[in-house]
């Protein structure tokens, strides 16, 4: 679980949100919505630790891993597509490199000889034997042409690069997955694939989107950033709109009654 505790964010005179306390629970999928410029991306950056809030805290359960789509799209320019995706799972990537070294080194130290006996089990448990097919499946789903899997990232178009970076985050299977408008650069087929992938995701997902179809298909909850606060609704986008409309109607009825009794 990840939570924000009394988080306030200001840029100069402008307050984006104030004293926001909200919990994102394990296994739920949250659609983070709000008007353009309301502060959704800023809030997500604060959750991920990329940005510090003016005040307040973010708490991530101990032992929980978090993954987010990186803003810096050129970090992996000299890596191949496949290696970029693999590195999304740090543990697996380290084991993979160690294993390569153990099997290709001309000479091994006695400690390394001993590691050979142990590494296969660790590698297998971390998903090492299916890493290639797993990564390929994701890249396929996200529409990266098969013949480009071994190409260097720098040779890819901006759109394809983003798809690989998305595959990289998903490959890490973090307990908390943060995605800021992931469907923007996807075509219909890839968007459907992502919807399906996220519907089956067992971790916590927080996703910013302006796409109503996506917001109806993926979230179990809607977090609405509006008037400097976040309101949480159960259900998908349409459910949240219905609940919101009912709340507004109830409020206006209550106000009308108040006015009557005051007369």
Ligand X SMILES: Nc1ncnc2c1ncn2[C@@H]1O[C@H](COP(=O)(O)OP(=O)(O)OP(=O)(O)O)[C@@H](O)[C@H]1O
Q: Which residues make up the interface to ligand X (CB under 6 A)? A: 11, 16, 34, 36-42
The residue (of 41 and 91) whose beta carbon lies closer to Mg ion is 41
Q: How far is the CB of 223 from Mg ion (least distance, A)?
A: 14
SS3 content of the chain, % helix, strand, coil (to 5): 45, 20, 30
| Residues in a beta bridge with 201 | none
- Distances in whole angstroms, Cα of residue 204 to Cα of each of 28, 141, 148, 166, 256: 5, 21, 31, 16, 41
Distance, CA of 131 to CA of 124 (rounded, Å): 10
Q: Please tell me whether residue 244 binds Mg ion under the rule CB under 5 A.
A: no
Closest distance to ligand X from the beta carbon of 179 (Å): 13
If the CB atoms of residues 45 and 96 are measured against ligand X, the closer one turns out to be 45
Tell me how far CA of residue 222 lies from CA of 40, 88, 143, 198, 227, in angstroms.
13, 27, 28, 15, 16
Q: Please, what is the minimum distance in Å from the beta carbon of residue 39 to ligand X?
A: 4
- Tell which one of 41, 65, 243, 244 touches Mg ion (CB under 5 A): 41
Query: Which CB sits closer to ligand X, 40 or 96?
Result: 40
Segment contacting Mg ion by CB under 5 A, of 39-47, 167-175, 223-231, 232-240: 39-47
Q: Which chain residues interact with Mg ion by CB under 5 A?
A: 41
């Amino acid at each position: 679980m990840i939570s924000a505790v009394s988080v306030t964010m200001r840029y100069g005179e402008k307050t984006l949100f104030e004293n926001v306390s909200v919990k994102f629970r394990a296994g739920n999928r949250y659609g983070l919505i709000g008007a353009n410029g309301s502060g959704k991306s800023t809030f997500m950056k604060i959750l991920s630790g990329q940005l510090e809030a003016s005040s307040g805290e973010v708490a991530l359960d101990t032992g929980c891993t978090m993954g987010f789509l990186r803003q810096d799209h050129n970090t992996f320019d000299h890596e191949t597509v496949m290696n970029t995706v693999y590195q999304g799972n740090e543990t697996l990537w380290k084991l993979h490199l160690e294993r390569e070294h153990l099997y290709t080194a001309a000479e091994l130290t006695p400690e390394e000889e001993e590691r050979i006996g142990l590494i296969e089990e660790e590698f297998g448990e971390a998903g090492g034997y299916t890493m290639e097919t797993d990564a390929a499946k994701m890249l396929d789903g996200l529409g990266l042409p098969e013949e480009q899997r071994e190409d260097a990232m720098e040779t890819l178009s901006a759109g394809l690069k983003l798809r690989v970076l998305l595959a990289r985050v998903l490959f890490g299977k973090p307990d908390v997955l943060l995605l800021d408008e992931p469907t923007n650069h996807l075509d219909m087929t890839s968007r459907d694939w992502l919807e399906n992938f996220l519907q089956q995701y067992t971790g916590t997902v927080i996703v910013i989107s302006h796409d109503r179809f996506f917001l109806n298909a993926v979230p179990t909850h809607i977090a609405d950033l509006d008037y400097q606060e976040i309101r949480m609704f159960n259900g998908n986008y349409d459910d949240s709109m219905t609940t919101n409309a009912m709340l507004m109607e109830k409020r206006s009825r209550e106000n009308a009654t108040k006015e009557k009794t005051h007369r």
